[in-house]
Structure formats: structure tokens, C-alpha cells
Amino acid sequence: MKKTVLLAASGLAALLMCISCKPSTSGKGTDGPDDKPVDKPEVSGYGDPKTLPGWDIYKAGTYRYGPCFINNEDGSIDAWFASPGGYHGDEDQMLYNLTTPHNSPYQVRNGDAAQYFKCDREFHAVQICCPTWGSSTESMTFKLFRWDTDYATTVAGEPVYQTREVNMADNGWVTLYLNEDAKLDHETMIPAGEYLWVATEASSTAGIWANNGTAASTGGLSPKSFIKGIEKANFQFESRVLTTYTTGALYWDKITYQHSEDGGKTWTEEVTALKPTEFSLDALSCCDPGVARWGGWYYIGYTSTEDGRGTDNNVFVARSKNPAGPWEKWNGEGWGGMPKPVIQYHGVGNKDNFGAGEPCFVVLDGTVYFYYSWNNADPETRVSTASADDEFWPAHLEYKGVAIDKKNPGIQSADHSDVKYRPDLKQFHAINTAKRMTESAYIQLWVSDDGLKFKLSGTLRGSGMQKGLHNCGWSGDAMGIQDPSKPQYIGYAYGLDSWGQWNTWFAPLSFSK
């Protein structure tokens, strides 16, 4: 028996989503030892970048991939990452400590399971996470009581709510309401107060997840867990109080934010910047951040899908006055409310392919260059443009074509591109991973004079590159302008040992003159 934990769910989503675009399987790589030489543009000033010795800024764990870096005028760095998701609902109302993974599945046939909590505000429902050891035929009775003096007195009284769950889903959440009508009436709330839920009359492999850790440190809920009516120290069942209406469903990825004042050596504590919106078109995931700032706003582009397989993705955008949010998502006509895509995928066989996603920005001479992946079967980067002076620019994006064609000339296992503008060369430069997630993975360099059509110009390889690297990003200023006379950086996820368990590498760049 094994619970489909968040790591596993998010790792699978990552497999299907942005970190697993279907690459071309035909032709040789264009930069390997047997490849034809690539013509390099003749330029003056600083030339191609090289990586300097770097370090891990995240150790798996799970993952922090697809980094987006902005160099600020004061020399500090803002960074956004695709990070493992969670469950829809109020995460501050967990009755167990999220920092301690659940590790103690309890079979309720061995004795009643129960948990006390105190909630200082009205709430919608209580949810309890239940393993069934792979069975789909298990059943269990759940009761919700108002707390009265002690455990024995409480369970001797009448329950507020009682339900018999049958054919339980393995690792599913069972929900306890105020009454049966509250299942459909999303405005019916349970009054604030002290409560006890009890799980009893269980079939053979119906259980409750728990962890051998401390109670939740947020929300003031003071939970206490009981087995056979006896309180268990350093033990908490996995449940939560829902203060708003929610399905409690899993979402795969979210976007987190960190800040560094010392060139990436140390970072502020990670905070959640952007999460999916429940009951919306991006409810399953927010990943692959691309961020820029102009006109007083931060804009973040990201990937999401309605397809539970992680395919058929679309591109979304949100804006904020602050790098960590809160964000107003583009709703199709303006900012705020339920999100709608700014790039809708409609490729051939769209339900079986990655689709559109992985955006990035360059803002130059009053024009927004909006780059994004478009993968039917082979990966390519497309570009659309709009006026940077237009507050509603997502509604007026004009498609300009395929900027980077990674199936021609037969690039092996390439992923998304991150584009910057080099004013010293008056050129757009882009990077992406090739032979991704392999021991021989490396980074390709692309160049364009107009930002609309790119050609391959070189590679980043060598001992400083980490094996299994993928989903890279590099730095520029808030509008995607890269000045090589100032410190610049590159980052990516890497690792070969376990799927979805990747470190995040960060390294300074040097530019030849």
C-alpha cells in the first residue's frame, strides 16, 4: 500500500506537462561531435556566454524547475519557479503539520479514529484523507460531534452530521458537512466552536492517513488525535477544516518566488506567488513562469490545461504590483476574475500533444515580444507581439510565426526557449536544453536580428554542466534586456536518479569580448 503522495502526483503531472514536451525523434543533434559546423554571426562587443562554477539553490526534495530570473537595478535578483502543488482549499486550516509527510496509515477496523479541533470562525466542512490499500470496495462511517467536556461525553451525544461512505476512493478525501443539504448549498456554514470527528464501523482496509509529527502550527485549531478513545501524543490524522467552499482536489504545480541580495548565494524564504484558481480553466496547474515588468506592473505568463493527462496546454497571463503577488489573472476581456488563455492551443491531434505554454517576454521599443512553446509532436517556439502601452495587450496579441524551429535541423530532445535582447549586439538571444534529462544534456544558443526568426549559433557544454539538466532560464532586466557588462546568471533543474526529484542549479555567466 502506498498513498499517491503530492510528490508522486506532481511528478506525474510534470511528466505529462511542461517538463515532458514530446521532442523530435528523427535526425541527429546539430551540435554533437559528428554534426556540421554552425555559422556564427559576426558581431562586436561581448560574445557568447560561458558558465562559471555554480551551486545548488534547491536540493531535492521534489523540484523547482523552469526558473525565471530578473536582475534589478540595485543588483538584487528576483526568481520564480515551477514548484509542487497542493490541494484546493484553505491551506492555513490543516489539522496536521504540512512539513512532516504523512507516514502512518491507520486501519480503522483496529479501533475508532477521531480528532478534536477548535475553530474560531464558521467553516464550510471538514475533510479527512483516507487510504484503502488499493481497494475500491471499502466503506466506513463518519460522524461529526460538537465537543462536550471530554471524549466519552462527546461521543455519547448526538452527532451534528453522520455519513456512511461506500466504495471509497483510495487516498480520497471524505467530507463532513453541517447537514445533507449543505452538500449542494455552498453557503451553509458550520458555526465556530469545538468539534470532534470520528471514523468507525470500517471494512477491512479502510483507513485514515496520519503522521508522527506535531499538530498544525497555523490557524489556532489545537488538534488532538484519538485511537480507541485514547489521545495519541505526537500523532495527527491528516484532515483539514475548509473555511470556504472547495472540492479539495489536487492541483499539480504552483509558482513560487524568492529574492536574493548577494548574487544568488542566499535567498529569502520561498513563498507561493501564484496558484491555480479552483473551478476555472487553470484549476489543474500553474507552472513554467515567465515574468517581466513594465508600466508599473509585473506580468507573469504560465502554462495550464484542462486535460487530466497534462496535454493540450494553453498559455495564461496575470499581473501584479508586487513580484510575489497577489495577481490579477487575464479573464479574456480584462484583469481579474476567472482566467482565460491568452494563447489557445489548436494544433493537430491537440489532445495527445503538449500544446502551448512555457512563455517568456522581451519588451523593446514599445513592443511586447511574447514567446511560447507550441508542440504538436515536435517542439517549436512561436512569437506574438503587442503594444507595451496597451493595458489590455493580451487581447491584441498578433501572431508573427515560428521563431525557433527545433525539428529542423533535427535537434534531439529540446525543451522550451528563454529569450533575451542584447543591446550591445542589437540581437535577440535564446537558450534551451537539448538531449534533456540525459547524461549528455547541454544548452543551445540561438540568435535573431529581429526577434522573429532565430538560427542556431552555439552551445554551452562542459564539466560545469550538470547531468540530466532541463528547463533552463537565464537572467536579464525587468524587460528581458541582457547587459553582459553586468552580472548575469543561468539556472536549471537537473538529476538522473529519481523522476521528479531534481536539484536546481544556479551559475554566473561570463561573456567573451
> Which CATH number covers residue 144?
2.60.120
459 and 323 share one domain: yes
pLDDT at 2 (0 to 100): 32
Average pLDDT over residues 80-106: 76
- pLDDT at residue number 244: 82
Position 130 pLDDT exceeds 80:
yes
- The DSSP secondary-structure symbol of 181 reads G
For 123, which DSSP code? B
pLDDT tens across 277-289, in order? 999 999 999 999 9
Residues 232 and 257 in one domain: no
- Rounded Cα gap, residues 246 and 288, in angstroms: 25
Side-chain-facing half-sphere of 216: CA atoms under 13 Å? 26
Q: Residue 434 sits in which domain range? A: 6-87+250-511
Is residue 94 pLDDT above 80, yes or no? no
Buried/exposed 176-199: b ≥16 CB within 10 Å, e otherwise: bbbeeebeeeeebbbeeeebbbbb
Nearest partner of 101 among 84, 116, 124, judged by Cα: 84
State whether 338 and 381 are in the same domain. yes
Please write the tens of the pLDDT for every residue from 96-108: 555 555 678 999 9
Q: Are residues 351 and 289 in the same domain?
A: yes
State whether 182 and 195 are in the same domain: yes
Cell numbers describing residue 116: 478534536
Residue 139, CA atoms < 13 Å, CB-side half-sphere: 8
Is residue 1 one of the residues assigned to a domain? no
Q: So what's the pLDDT on residue 183?
A: 81
Lowest-pLDDT choice from 97-106, 297-306, 466-475: 97-106
Domain of 434, CATH number, reads 2.115.10.20
CA nearest to 129, candidates 140, 145, 118: 140
For the stretch 26-67, pLDDT in tens is 333 333 333 333 344 343 467 889 999 999 999 998 999 999
How many helices and strands (H and E) does the chain possess?
2, 34
Residue 268: pLDDT band (50, 70, 90) is very high
How far is 437 from 474, CA to CA, in rounded Å?
18
Tell me the C-alpha distance between 165 and 169, whole Å.
10
Which single residue is written with the C-alpha cell 489590455?
392
Least confident interval from 145-149, 211-215, 220-224: 211-215
State how far the Cα of 380 lies from the Cα of 310, in Å rounded to an integer.
18
13 pLDDT above the threshold of 70: no
Does residue 412 carry a pLDDT above 50?
Answer: yes
pLDDT of 181 strictly over 90: no
Q: Do both 324 and 263 map to the same domain?
A: yes
Domain termination site, one of 199, 223, 242: 242
Residue indicated by cell numbers 506532481: 10
pLDDT of residue 211: 82
Last residue of a domain, one of 242, 258, 286: 242
Distance, CA of 284 to chain centre: 10
Closest CA to 282 of 320, 324, 329, 325: 329
Domains of the chain: total: 2
- Residue 23 confidence (pLDDT): 31
pLDDT tens-place string over residues 230-246:
999 888 898 888 888 88
Do the Cβ atoms of 284 and 251 come closer than 8 Å?
yes
Query: Could you tell me if 63 and 143 lie in one domain?
Result: no
**pLDDT score of 379:** 87
What distance in Å separates the CA atoms of residue 5 and residue 2, rounded to the nearest whole number? 8
- Is 357 in the same domain as 432? yes
Average pLDDT over residues 171-177: 92
Distance between CA atoms of residues 434 and 416, nearest Å:
10
Is 394's pLDDT higher than 90?
Answer: yes
pLDDT at 12 (0 to 100): 35
What confidence score (pLDDT) does residue 462 get?
A: 78
Mean pLDDT value across the chain: 87
Same domain, yes or no: 257 and 365 = yes
Asked if residue 95 and residue 46 are part of one domain, the reply reads: no
Q: Whole-angstrom Cα distance, residue 361 to residue 366?
A: 13
Q: In which residue are the cell numbers 483516507 written?
A: 130
332-367 pLDDT per residue, tens: 999 999 999 999 998 776 668 899 999 999 999 999
